[in-house]
């Protein structure tokens, strides 16, 4: 358990699910976020979180000294097919084997309470992740078209992530000409 300035980074407990849902859904595009804020594409539900947990997704939370959840991160160790890898336009092919290794953690979501954006909570979450899972390869996809999540891309670059690939889809969810960048970091 990592602690910095009264914050703890711990694996989420059942009593944290409501806070995770609230934080996630408060960060979905169109929720009156600042135009410069990072964002998530879709809302989540308790049923979705329970399904994710049953499929091996891990949820971690940043909590303050009073137990309030200020942010969360979800990661998984997905089974990645060659077919999927071949859909990526690689900027750095040296990452392919690392993404296929058992040391790979795929970040599905990282989010903080909107009132805590820009206050170091997400940075604390990542630093804590690095401490708990040293020698890992970490990746995440961030939407870049038609909606640019510039804040998230810049944040990940500040954390030492590099853009190593691009995934394009004609349509993803309700978005035409979808594109996301694959960000990667070796711990």
- For 93-159, give the secondary structure using H, E and C: HHHHHHHHCCCEEEEEEEEECHHHCCCCHHHHHHHHHHHHCCCCEEEEEEEEECCCCHHHHHHHHHC
Mean pLDDT for 138-166 is 91
Q: How confident is the model at residue 55 (pLDDT cuts 50, 70, 90)?
A: very high
- Is the pTM value of this prediction over 0.75? yes
Report how far residue 86's alpha carbon sits from residue 82's, in angstroms, rounded to the nearest whole number: 6
Predicted pLDDT at 3: 44
Is residue 48 over pLDDT 90? yes
Tell me the pLDDT tens digit for each residue of 19-37.
Answer: 999 999 999 887 655 555 5
Q: How confident is the model at residue 6 (pLDDT cuts 50, 70, 90)?
A: confident
* CATH 3.40.630.30 for the 2-186 domain, yes or no: yes
Q: How confident is the model at residue 171 (pLDDT cuts 50, 70, 90)?
A: confident
Which residues on adjacent β-strands are paired with residue 184?
139, 162
């Amino acid at each position: 358990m990592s602690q910095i300035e009264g914050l703890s980074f711990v694996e989420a407990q059942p009593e944290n699910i409501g806070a995770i849902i609230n934080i996630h859904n408060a960060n979905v595009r169109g929720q009156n976020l600042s135009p410069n804020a990072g964002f998530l594409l879709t809302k989540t539900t308790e049923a979705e979180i329970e399904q994710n947990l049953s499929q091996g997704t891990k949820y971690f939370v940043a909590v303050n000294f009073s137990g309030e959840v200020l942010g969360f991160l979800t990661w998984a160790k997905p089974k990645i097919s060659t077919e999927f890898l071949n859909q990526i336009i690689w900027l750095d092919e040296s990452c392919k084997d690392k993404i296929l290794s058992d040391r790979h953690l795929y970040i599905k979501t990282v989010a903080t309470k909107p009132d805590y954006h820009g206050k170091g909570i997400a940075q604390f979450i990542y630093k804590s992740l690095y401490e708990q899972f040293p020698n890992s390869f970490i990746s995440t996809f961030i939407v870049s078209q038609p909606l640019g999540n510039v804040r998230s891309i810049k944040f990940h670059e500040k954390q030492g992530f590099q853009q190593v690939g691009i995934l394009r889809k004609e349509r993803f969810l309700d978005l035409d000409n979808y594109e996301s960048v694959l960000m990667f970091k070796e711990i």
